[in-house]
Chain A
């Protein structure tokens, strides 16, 4: 089923520190996952993705970890910068291309100076 966010968890980190944002996904059949970043008043922006046959994927300053056993995703942001302040959503999908994504409730990341 779809996740409904009634309130937005917030993570506050000091500039330069590492951030870890967690997400519990709902469907054990999901085989593709994306982390999106959404800035205020804008549409979601792709950050990084991972398939279910992987447990870790790295990008530039970001790493996604997937634990299928407990249906858990995490996004790690290294050396967090003020521009990283946004709401982060994990999204899950079955069968990849063409199917809609189901979004998690989101986490607001605030980077403190």
Chain B
């Protein structure tokens, strides 16, 4: 099956610093990837849609200047949390659709803790 990886799996950072999270499709190309955020005991909430070769589309209420998305290639999207604060602590998950499949393939998630 299709594999999507994320790096790092866990990160702890100080308040005010920036953190970059990578999402890679390992065995297929993805022109679109999705970034979700999940708080404890809650569901996945879509943050933004990452598009290769164009700007990301952000959901209402998600600050584009705070959550920078770069879809650098057909297999890599990065989410940078800039000037992170404790309230940004969450589980960040990416997903990618794949040609010929209706389901989306999810990465294993990145646990961000901001101290």
Contacts and interface: CB of A to CB of B under 8 A. Distances in A.
Interface of A: 2-8, 32, 34, 36, 41-46, 49, 89, 96-106
Main secondary structure of the interface of B (DSSP, over half): strand
Given A45-B106, A96-B102, A97-B101, A7 B43 contact: no
B42 interface: yes
Main secondary structure of the interface of A (DSSP, over half): loop
Nearest to B49: A100
Nearest to B40: A8
Contacts of B45: 2, 4, 103
A103 B44 contact: yes
Given A8-B42, A104-B43, A98 B32 contact: yes
A98 B106 contact: no
Given A46-B103, A98-B32, A100-B49, A106 B97 contact: no
Contacts of B97: 97-99
A106 B43 contact: yes
